[in-house]
A and B are shown apart, each in its own frame.
Chain A
Amino acid sequence: MAASQGGPGAPGGAVTARSLHWLLPAASLAVAGGLSLPVLTVAASLLVAAEGPWVEFVRLVLPRYVVTTVWLVLGVCAGALVIGVGTAWLVTVCRVPGQRLWQWALLLPMAVPAYLLAYTYADLLQYAGPVQTTMRAWFGWGRGDYWFPQIRSLGGAIVVMTLAFYPYVYMLARAAFLEQSGAALEASRTLGHSPWSTFWRVALPLARPGIAAGVALVGMEVLADFGTVKHFELDTFATGIYLTWFTLGSPVGAARLAAGLMAFVLAVMSLERLSRGSRRFHATGTAPRRPAVFPLRGWRAAAGVAACVIPPLGGFGLPAAALLVMAATAGDPLFGPTFLRLAANTLLLAVLAGTLAVAVAALIAYGLRLTPSPAMRVAARIVGLGYSVPGAVIAVGVMIPFGYADRLLGAWLHAATGRPPGLVLSGTVFTLVYAYLVRFLAVSLGTVEAGLGRIRPTMDDAARTLGHGPGSTLLRVHAPLMRGSLLTAALLVVVDLLKELPATLILRPFNFDTLAVRVYQLASDERLAQASTAALAIVAVGLLPVLLLDRTIARARGPRDTPDARP
């Protein structure tokens, strides 16, 4: 149908009445504009003249920040690449004992935020921690008698973050391997290549875009991390922003650092784009078939199993078990009313931001579908950018304009009522929810767009020719088909913001703590045991999208052209 359709920009299947045709895109453009404010603010900070302490700061401290950040990103990306691609190959194309279990277990570390891993490992491996205490008891060592690796170091952070973030690479590499046509691998075998050589020469190059995307995601997560580097006392951009704002008291300096961090992220993203070039990686010709299976036997099978067990054990099993033990033995004196208050705060934020994120995403997605104009597309792009911008950067980008608005508003209200009103916007739940929207809208937008994409325009057309008007089409075709996607979008946003730390820490209202914030505070005071219940709650909720993801990947195996939209 598209082949013979004469013109571009002919929106197949307009769902709405004429008036909605301009109203909806206009509204979504306005919303998209409003949500791009923080990113633009941070970028604009580069135009403001520098002040005294900032110049010193750049000269003395900035180089160290850059070096640490670069090493951290490189180390974690390399680790995640090796673990992610290796395990994906093992559980997708090879046959190892317990395959189905590992396919699923390897995703588990996604449920644990990196900072929780860091807190748990620091707690376990510190001098007074259970591991070193046991070693001393067994061997009768005293202080200084033995060498033990320092977990709170750059190397420690690289290990911890690798364990936390490798699933991104694993997931995308696995999807790429699943999509590959088995014929390509078989052709390589008939041309005289061993399985190993086939992996290097055919499978890996074909999976490159997926792997690159996964590594880019890992890089962004590392740049966005605040909890781990703060706990390990590493000087990176993320901690630098915090320090500049609250210790040096320089918002402009913080914004400039934030801009630097954003530049890093953009560089990572463009590198990934650039590396793709004009190559195509899709299988040509027939539909993809199941990849060829290489069975592993003997010691290879044992090694394969070990490779599949260690990453999820380190990234999920051990820390979760440790937290469970802490919660059970040391107990959580805060459990009870305090926990409930924290949970209620968290839930309030989750429901508010989750609902809004889905509503706004639906607005933009429909605007995009009805009028795929360049302006609309750019707006959707900018809104999507928020996800790749670290939380600390967004916090800075929100604080500056909101603080300015507060001063204007305060002056106006002061003049009008004769009393200073205090802060109206800053430090409210509204500010926090706005920041969450900026940061996580991309998640809901992606999911909603994918769901909407499954409703082909011809379905709208079919409903119209069968005598249903735009409203009836929306209600009877779109609503039931979109329900699953909308719920998924809400769930993903909720889980993400539950784990979110830096923006919450900076923007939360006074005395308004969430589960993540409380865990951070207690862990900083070396009182992780007291936060173990809250930490476990975060992990438990984090498991939900992991289950969802596993199902989605498995379902992607099926034929593509039979859309199954029932949730």
Chain B
Amino acid sequence: MRTDRGGLPVISVRGVVRRFDPASPPAVDRLSLDVAQGEILTLLGPSGSGKTTVLRLVAGFERPDEGEVWIAGRCVAGNGVWVPPEARGVGMVFQDYALFPHLTVEENVAFGLHCVQRIQRPRRIREALELVGMTAFAGRYPHELSGGQQQRVALARALAPQPFAVLLDEPFSNLDADLRAQLREEVRGILKHTGTSAIFVTHDQHEALLLGDRVGVLREGRLEQVDVPERIFHAPRTRFVARFFGRADFLPARVTPQGVQTEVGLLPQRPPLGNGADVEVLVRPDDVAIAPAADGAGVVVRRLFQGGTVLYCVELPSGRRVHSLQPHTVRLEPGARVAVRLDPGHALTCFHDGQAVGTAGETASEASALAGA
């Protein structure tokens, strides 16, 4: 919302460590990340991975044990500097909304405008409420609003002081699925419309992919990968990231001069490994083609109807199972024999010792082309 400062990151976390208990591993471990002007970064991870702690470190509710936090070109924590939360110019939207029950919607929004000239406040309040479509509820008390409405007010309250950035801590987790989807769209629209930088913490992978310009995956206080959503999904750097997004099967394979040899055929790609090296190929359901065949190698074990599509679970001769996504017009019953083929249309990610090898260049250009669009 504030003026562009020549491409410098709005939020910069540099090698931050936060340890709650000397005996156990740190909640945040040498973590670094940047959020650019107007960018939405979603942070994703299982519970206990430290994502909320990262948010609280940026907001100023936690002090880093090591490292620095910079906001809008100013060091706010680390190196002996400490700027309290109220002086950081960062807005926050909480999971439980944290609206003040003794204040009306209007007064809640006005709460952060105490430094704004009195004469300008009504306009700023109106603008903020218009932004979230809550103008009609200005005089209500929080308990008179539904969950979705409370969340909108919380966002308006955070945006009203025009902060450098907004931090959102699983803001939709108390809402039902429909409302979630709707608010997700709205919030992204509002943040983009106002050009506000944001860090959005969630444990919902769909939400992370849909909302984020970039997605950061946290595991045990470390960033496994920060990337555009497409690359996170198609070019995960670790098995953990691959597993975290969507259904993932891993097929053992061997590198040969012709390509990567799997149980269900040869992939024409050459990872930078010597011949005979063992790898695991990440196979998503949309990479696997199946066709009914009496002498097929695979047997359908389960059929998961998903509406427009059907997910088939197929057992291979080795006993390993892969999943295949098919349109609902394909109808196979459990027990049916099928021919299984890999038909990704792009290079598949191979893992060696849990880390991705090769293939990165190709999908990177593809992904950056998508991101630039």
Contact = CB atoms under 8 A, between A and B. Distances in A.
Contacts of B84: 464, 469
B228 to A, nearest CB: 24
Contacts of B201: 4
Secondary structure at the A interface, as helix, strand, loop or mixed, is loop
B20 A465 contact: no
Interface in B92-139: 92, 94-96, 98-102, 111-112, 114-115
Contact of B86 (A7, A464, A562, A564): A464
A10 B63 CA distance: 11
B239 interface: no
Contacts of A461: 59, 61, 85, 92, 94, 98
Nearest to A464: B85
Contacts of B60: 464
A1 interface: yes
B98 A462 contact: yes
Interface string B275-312: 00000000000000000000000000000000000000
B86 A466 contact: yes
B92 A565 contact: no
A480 interface: yes
Interface in B11-46: 18-21, 24, 26-28, 45
A565 B102 CA distance: 7
B227 interface: no
B61 A12 contact: yes
B169 A1 contact: yes
Interface stretch (B48-56, B252-260, B261-269): B48-56
B219 to A, nearest CB: 12
A560 to B, nearest CB: 11
B143 A459 contact: no
A469 B61 CA distance: 13
A566 interface: yes
Contacts of A9: 20-21
B170 A1 contact: yes
B54 to A, nearest CB: 10
A465 B114 contact: no
Nearest to A563: B101
A79 interface: no
Nearest to B166: A465
B355 interface: no
B101 A481 contact: yes
Given A12-B61, A563-B101, A467 B86 contact: yes
A477 B107 CA distance: 12
Interface in A534-567: 562-566
A467 B112 contact: yes
B51 A467 contact: no
A466 B48 contact: no
Contact of A456 (B91, B98, B112, B141): B98
Contact of A563 (B92, B143, B161): B143
B73 to A, nearest CB: 19
User: Which 6 A/B pairs are nearest by Cβ-Cβ distance?
Assistant: A7-B20, A6-B27, A466-B112, A562-B143, A464-B85, A458-B98
5 contacts: A6-B53, A7-B24, A459-B100, A465-B167, A467-B115
Interface of A: 1, 3-10, 12-14, 454, 456, 458-459, 461-469, 472, 476-477, 480-481, 562-566
Interface of B: 18-21, 24, 26-28, 45, 47-53, 56, 59-62, 84-92, 94-96, 98-102, 111-112, 114-115, 141-143, 157-158, 161, 163, 167, 169-170, 201, 203, 221
Given A6-B221, A481-B100, 5 more contacts: A1-B96, A4-B50, A10-B62, A464-B85, A466-B158
